[in-house]
Chain A
Amino acid sequence: MTTVADSREALRQLPDREPLLRVRGLCKYFPIRGKGILGKVVATVRAVDDMNFDLQPGETLGLVGESGSGKTTAARCILRALSPTAGDVHFRQADGTSVNLATLPERSLKALRPHMQMIFQDPFSSLNPRMTVGDIVAEPLVIHRLGARADREDRVVDILRKVGLKAEHRIRYPHAFSGGQRQRIGIARALIMKPSLVVADEAVSALDVSVQAQVLNLLKDLQEEFKLTYLFVAHNLDVVRHFCDRVAVLYAGRLVELAPSAEIFSDPKHPYTKALLSAVPWPDPDVRMKFDVPGEIADPSRLPSGCAFHPRCPECFAPCKTIRPALSLLSGTRRQVACHLHSSPDQTFP
């Protein structure tokens, strides 16, 4: 497939730093089986379809898209909470060597788990109500048999302080805490392993705006202190704009645009990115929302031909309906766009 080759070529042209995470051709397909006893596959949901990106150490990459765009599935595949259908996820270890998480056997994966942690969306369902906060935060240490009991206690107290909780909180249960505090507990649990990669899946979506600001500030401080790299999955574009260095926009399982945050928000290139940004309600009555794209996100089991966005795209022209645009680098920039409007003719028609 030329498109994949094109996008790989584009990535090779990126500045040659050693990324912490190198995602290549990542796909996750879910079969839909018929009702018969043989369970014949009647359709395939392409939840994530040929995703390519790099994540530099210390960077925050936002993965944005509407529900059903595949952002959570992609994040789970990267952490191998799901096994990808195809593709590679190269993760650089502390010693500089790289492993492919996508193909690593389950056994070897466990040794890597401490280095990649996840913060979940719902602070109510992600904490076991029958465990004390101390036990919840210490559990990763127990699972990985790290440290003696007394040592663990010290580490728990230490990390609780770091996330803005108190030492005495460790003997209490999650129900005694507010949503914001629970999210801090979840963050403490993720960070006690001293991970290098943290995947935050809608980590602040369930929080009220004043508390959300506290947690975002906390995540920024912790990133500096622990040299964390964030993959920040979110649907709230205001939060992403504020928090992320680069943004990857997903539509129907495919990356349509990947660019530094400031550039993508000031000058979106892909028509879908433009549409998405125009739908954000601005808290100023003088700046009117002017979203006018009809319809809803494409069904990933029946993706339109060519560019998946073409049936809704206000700028659709002939090649969009038949040829799938590759994610390619805009010349002279660090921006990648998958749109025929922005690809040079020789790339589109080789």
Chain B
Amino acid sequence: MSVPQSAPQPSSPTPGEGLPILEVINLKTHFFTEDGVLPAVDGVNFSIPRGRTLALVGESGCGKSVTSYSILRLIQRPGRIVEGQILLHSTRSGTIDIAQLDDDDERLYHIRGGLVSMIFQEPMTALSPVHTVGDQIAEAILLHQDVSKTEARDRAIAMLRKVGVSAPERRIDQYPHEMSGGMRQRIVIAMALVCNPELLIADEPTTALDVTIQAQILNLIKNLQREVGCSVLLITHDLGVVAQAADEVAVMYLGRIVESGSVRSLLKSPRHPYTQGLLRSLPSLNHGRRLSSISGSVPSLGAIPPGCPFHPRCPHAIVGRCDVGSPPALEVVGPGHRVACVRVAELPAADPVSAESGRSN
């Protein structure tokens, strides 16, 4: 994870391709409602290094889904991207600022499902109940590639096999209701990857699934990512999924990124009080002990507190410093590690949150 101005990541696995796959610069997506303007995404900056997985985490209402919908320009009225750039550095089509495209721009259709594709949370609503899964996968191929119907069907079967669907020749003519939740999510993944996207957005891809199926799907996404070589933007609320599936992570709170860095530095030594609070609320790291929760709840977007938006819930907030002025900007605190907190230098660096309490199997 890097701010857009900084030099390209040396860790980029495909040398020669200096640019990250996606740069989001000062993105603001606001919703204009009767009750006023709701800044769902308010000045978000991040970039996804090519071939890597960036996780966007946060609780409900923090703006992580609105961010991902903005990238595909799926925001509908009363929502609108009011500011910022979404730079897609495609190897196939060059650099495109998605934020600037008109709603009916041809290139948008080329991007959606072609260069950038998306896996949604609930596979049943992402699939059409009245078309066979084969037709739905083939539709994506026919839209983006110049092939015959038979060729599209063959590719769909090959893709189903790749995502671990047994007997794909038979499954391809089935309808989504004939399949289990895990199988449906495999179909959605097949649809998303069949056109070899350069960026895959996975919006809570395993939230509706059981842990065993979640483990299978996360492994599948990882293996396919390696095979296809695409980059992944993973939207999740689950820090366990982040630890297991992402390389970089950005924590969102009320439409802003409050902390970002490598998965290891952020989970092992979180610096923002909100990130620390999230980790301390996890039962897995605190079994037997009383959970220390974050007090209160997320304020509504219509009444974002002044100063640092987290200050009313923050145990370290100081009157006169944290509750005034504009929200703190992200500052570098370590290699690739950025925190938006005015007190970050004074507060204890590492929190005794780690797996020392141990998982034993």
Contacts and interface: CB of A to CB of B under 8 A. Distances in A.
Interface of A: 66-67, 178-181, 208-214, 216-217, 220, 235-239, 241-243, 265-268, 274-289, 291, 293, 296-297
A281 B288 contact: no
Contacts of B59: 208-211
Contacts of B285: 283
Contacts, number: 147
Nearest to B214: A279
Contacts of A275: 212
Contacts of B131: none
A276 B212 contact: yes
Contacts of A268: 361
B181 interface: yes
A288 to B, nearest CB: 7
Interface in B200-223: 210-216, 218-219
A66 B182 CA distance: 12
A209 B243 contact: no
B213 A211 contact: no
B244 A289 contact: yes
A269 to B, nearest CB: 11
A178 B281 contact: no
B93 interface: no
Question: Chain B contact residues: over half helix, strand or loop, or mixed?
Answer: helix
Given A242-B287, A276-B211, 12 more contacts: A209-B59, A236-B283, A238-B283, A241-B287, A242-B286, A279-B215, A282-B240, A283-B355, A284-B354, A285-B267, A286-B355, A296-B213
Contact of A237 (B211, B244, B282): B211
B77 interface: no
Contacts of B282: 209, 213, 238, 283
A92 to B, nearest CB: 29
A281 B240 contact: yes
Interface stretch (B121-129, B170-178, B292-300): B292-300
Contacts of A217: 290-291, 293
Contacts of A296: 180, 182-183, 212-213
Please indicate which of the listed interface residues A217, A280, A281 has the most CB atoms of chain B within 10 Å of its own CB: A281
B215 A211 contact: no
A214 B293 contact: yes
Which 8 residue pairs across A and B have the least CB separation, nearest first? Answer: A281-B240, A242-B283, A213-B293, A291-B215, A213-B281, A238-B284, A213-B291, A279-B215
Contacts of B268: 284-285
6 contacts: A67-B181, A211-B59, A213-B292, A279-B212, A283-B242, A291-B219
B145 to A, nearest CB: 32
A349 B194 CA distance: 52
A287 B359 contact: yes
A282 B212 contact: no
A280 B211 contact: yes
Given A66-B212, A217-B291, A288 B60 contact: no
A11 B123 CA distance: 42
Contact of A209 (B263, B278, B361): B278
B5 interface: no
